[in-house]
Amino acid sequence: MRNILCSVILIGGLAGCGTTSNVFSAFSEHPSHQPLRVYGGVCFDFGVFFVSSPPFGALFALIDFPFSLLGDTLTLPVTIPFTIDWDKRESAESSPKKPQ
C-alpha cells in the first residue's frame, strides 16, 4: 500500500510537467526560445516521447500527456495573446528596414 501511495504522489507531482515548463519558460533568459506557446506543454511531451531513451522517457510522456493537455487548455487565455504578441515582434524584427 505504501508503494502505491508513493507512486501516486510521484506521478501526481510530475503530472503537467510539460505545461509547467511552457509557463515558466516565460522567465527564461533564452531570447530565441518562444515562451508561453499555445499547447507548448503537449509539444514538450511529444519531444520527450520521440527524443528520449525508452522506456522511461516514453512512459513519462504518456503519463504526462493528458495532464499537459488539460493544463495547456486552461492556460489558453494567457498563451494565445502572448503568442500573437510574440509573432508580431518576430515579424517586425525580421522584416527589412526601409531606407530613408
The tens digit of pLDDT for each residue in 23-78 reads 777 776 665 566 788 898 888 888 877 777 677 777 877 888 888 888 889 889 98
pTM of the model: 0.67
pLDDT tops 60 at residue 11: no
Q: How does residue 94 score in pLDDT terms, banded at 50, 70 and 90?
A: confident
How far from each other are the two terminal CA atoms of the chain, in whole angstroms?
Answer: 74
| Domain edges within the chain | 14-80
b/e map 82-91, b = 16+ CB within 10 Å: bbeeeeeeee
Per DSSP (E only), the strands in the chain are none
Contacts of 27 (CB under 8 A, 6+ apart): 35
Residues 68 and 80: their CA atoms lie apart, in Å, by 16
Determine the pLDDT at residue 98: 60
